[in-house]
Structure 1
Amino acid sequence: MRIQNNKLAALALSIAAACCAIPAMAADTGGFATTTGGDSATATTVTTLAELEAAITAGSHHIIIDGTIYGGSTLTTLTFATTDWNNTTIEGASGGKAVLENIQLKFDGEMLTTGTNIENIKIANITFRGNISDLQALPTQVYGTSNDVGINYEGVSLRRITNAYITHCTFYDASDDLMSVTLSSDDVTISYNHFYFTDDWVSMSPDPVWNWVGYNTDLAGERLAMVIGANYSDSYVATGYLHVTLHHNWFGPNLRGRPLYRGWVHQYSNYFDNSTAPSGYNTAEDGNSYTKQQYEALQVNSGSVVYSESNYFYRTNYTNKVSTDSSGYDYRFYEQNNVYSQTTGTSSSGDDYSSDLSDYSYTVTSASNVPSVVKASAGPQ
């Protein structure tokens, strides 16, 4: 879906003038109204990892997960790396009991010809979770080495994917971000999902120390929800891509930080829930301590354009944090009709906007009703 919007066109010009020349940008956002994935393909129902892997090997474009499938103690990443995977649906059976444990779905067009993305992907009605004991038992994880499967482990990773729909899923206790949208992915909608960490994760013992991209931190402190855009070079301003809509998602409890946005992001009617508000410190095996406290709820980062409306922030800490990758990198942050209840710490305020963003149809839930509506509807059904 494409948006024609004078405000956004003016914004693109102002960013170009302030930063540098950027590609011509047509404003657009998530494609859930046109994302059907492989719904029309013959469905293959799987109940074990072997059956799931066999379905992928056979090229099934509509896979139904029935029950819990365990990816093993050393984690399993299932990678979809060619345009042969265009028009694919992976979904849970009705009833909301489909679980992928220690399994990452990685849709990755990174090695495709420049300008070519994998297209039309739908992930629905699945719980993605990590097994804490298995993660604790991994050898010390160091980014860029053979021991880094935990550092690269998420529930769903979208890399160079166009037109994707992630809906009615639950993500918890993964050792990297719970999910990510990066590398010039575009037209992505993320709706009615639940992102959180368990109390067992917050208080895990032992609490392994891993090397995350050049620095050490403890696993229990790595409670991150989502990243959109890997760096400034992979931002909306730099590429013209990464148009993402997030609506009616439940973020929390027990998140320490994020979502982090470097894309063009329209977020509305989401519930940011810090009801547990962890306090105290994790004492890691190397003797250092890390606060359990949330250090941000929402991070507006380099190259992003963020529209935030009718969201409910409950007891969040440092709620809206602007944190650019380097000085001179521009961003824009707009908001309207959000509710901030019992929030703490310093929070940035977005500029006002008063008109609808787009030509696509969307229905906003009044912010005051968001907690009850989202808690009743997010996650598998």
Structure 2
Amino acid sequence: MSGRIQKVVKYASAAAVPVLLAVGVVGVAHGGTAAPPQTFGVLDLVGWATQNGGTTGGGNAAATTVTSASALTSAVGATAPAVIRVSGTISCSGMLRVRSDKTIIGNAGATISGCGLNVNGDRNVIIRNITFRGWNDDAINVQESATNIWVDHNSFTGGKDGAVDIKRGSDFITVSWNRVFGHDKSMLLGHSDDNASQDRGHLRVTYHHNWFDASTQRHPRVRFGNPVHVYNNYYFNNSGYGVASTEGAGVLVEANSFENVEDPFHLGEGDSGPGSLVARNNQLVNSGSGQTGGSVASIPYSYTPDAAANVKSVVTANAGAGRISL
């Protein structure tokens, strides 16, 4: 992410008409069929994070490279817009506060081990191309009405709690092209049943093209948000469940591929009452039929989903850290 202005061509799908735009990074979007890893730039942002003025992170700010926990802490906590490149393995503990207008992007092989990133009431943050390993709280925590966040092309494994947890009135968020493996609690949306006053009308999140690779549960577990859009994800060998809609949430589960998932989606979870869930055009391979009910608010943004039959090949070829050109 050099900050220079370059022209790129965006294809929302294989059949879409290309749109020529000027942006701060090079990006040629995935075209809807299996392909080797390729460049994914900011023009590939789809979903709720495109709303409310969009999500640009640090924009054209000059990039700085960090190689230590102290440097990372200082860079993400600064008040000015910044593009922060993570290099090597950074070992840390706890949660590092991320302030507004930040792009945090990993160089090849970048790893954050032992700690997580906390977006607490700030806005306009992009987190991409990082392997998070062994975090002792959450890997990425988005809370306290944080808005316009894009979590893209990261890998998550072996942490204590959530890989990507979003809660307390946060809004306008896209979680895309990530891989979760060797982990239990993947993605929580809405932290408790008694937080309706802060959460209703918010928690609008898009989850697309993520690879839930034998992770156990919460892919996502949703409270209150409506509409939450879950499309083109690949679920494989999830021993707990895929998607849960609870506490009046409205979740559209669309064109996903479920393989060896006994409980792909359902209403209610634990002590949480049911929400609504609409399922359409999903592929269920050696999987249960799922539970649906109620209605979901309309999706306000443009998108073109891949066919569910292509999702496995598309996602396994392109999801996770190390699958974007820098």
TM-score by length of 1: 0.65
Partner of 2:23: none
1:306–1:181 distance in 2 versus 1, CA, 3 Å: same
Task: State the AA in 2 paired with 1:317.
Answer: E
2:309 partner SS? helix
From 102, 112, 125, give the equivalent of 1:88.
Answer: 102
Partner of 2:115: 103
Task: State the AA in 1 paired with 2:186.
Answer: A
Partner of 1:78: 96
Partner of 2:86: 65
From 334, 339, 351, give the equivalent of 2:278.
Answer: 334
Determine the C-alpha separation between the residues in 2 that align with 1:238 and 1:32.
20
Determine the C-alpha separation between the residues in 2 that align with 1:79 and 1:57.
6
Determine the C-alpha separation between the residues in 2 that align with 1:360 and 1:58.
32
- Point out where structure 2 has 5 or more consecutive residues left out of the alignment: 1-46
After superposing on structure 2, the runs of 4+ consecutive aligned residues of structure 1 that deviate more than 6 Å are none
1:237–1:340 distance in 2 versus 1, CA, 3 Å: farther
Q: What does 1:1-381 align with in structure 2 at a 5 Å threshold?
A: 30-32=48-50, 34-56=54-76, 58-59=78-79, 61-71=82-92, 75-80=93-98, 85-93=99-107, 95=108, 97-109=109-121, 118-130=122-134, 150=136, 153-159=137-143, 160-197=145-182, 223-234=184-195, 239-262=200-223, 263-264=225-226, 265-274=228-237, 294-323=239-268, 331-344=275-288, 347-350=290-293, 357-380=298-321, 381=324
TM-superposed CA distance for 1:235, in Å, is: 5.0
Contact 1:247 1:270 (C-alpha < 8 Å) held by counterparts: yes
Determine the C-alpha separation between the residues in 1 that align with 2:77 and 2:250.
39
Contact 2:241 2:261 (C-alpha < 8 Å) held by counterparts: yes
- Point out where structure 1 has 5 or more consecutive residues left out of the alignment: 1-28, 110-117, 132-149, 199-222, 278-293
Contact 2:250 2:295 (C-alpha < 8 Å) held by counterparts: no
Determine the C-alpha separation between the residues in 1 that align with 2:85 and 2:215.
30
Task: State the AA in 2 paired with 1:273.
Answer: F
TM-superposed CA distance for 1:255, in Å, is: 2.1
Determine the C-alpha separation between the residues in 2 that align with 1:350 and 1:129.
36
Determine the C-alpha separation between the residues in 1 that align with 2:203 and 2:295.
23
**RMSD, aligned α-carbons:** 2.5
- Cα deviation digits, residues 132-191 of structure 1 (max 9, x gap): xxxxxxxxxxxxxxxxxx4xx111000021111111111111110111010000000011
- Cα deviation digits, residues 284-340 of structure 1 (max 9, x gap): xxxxxxxxxx2322111112100011000110122212225768x562111110011
2:49 partner SS? coil
Task: State the AA in 2 paired with 1:154.
Answer: D
Determine the C-alpha separation between the residues in 2 that align with 1:299 and 1:175.
21
1:236–1:66 distance in 2 versus 1, CA, 3 Å: farther
Larger radius of gyration: 1
Determine the C-alpha separation between the residues in 2 that align with 1:129 and 1:254.
14
The structure in which a higher percent of residues are helix is 1
Determine the C-alpha separation between the residues in 2 that align with 1:156 and 1:306.
22
1:106–1:181 distance in 2 versus 1, CA, 3 Å: same
1:40 partner SS? coil
Determine the C-alpha separation between the residues in 1 that align with 2:222 and 2:73.
33
Determine the C-alpha separation between the residues in 2 that align with 1:361 and 1:176.
33
Partner of 1:204: none
Contact 1:224 1:259 (C-alpha < 8 Å) held by counterparts: no
Number of positions where the alignment pairs a residue of Structure 1 with one of Structure 2: 270
TM-superposed CA distance for 1:359, in Å, is: 4.1
1:32–1:191 distance in 2 versus 1, CA, 3 Å: farther
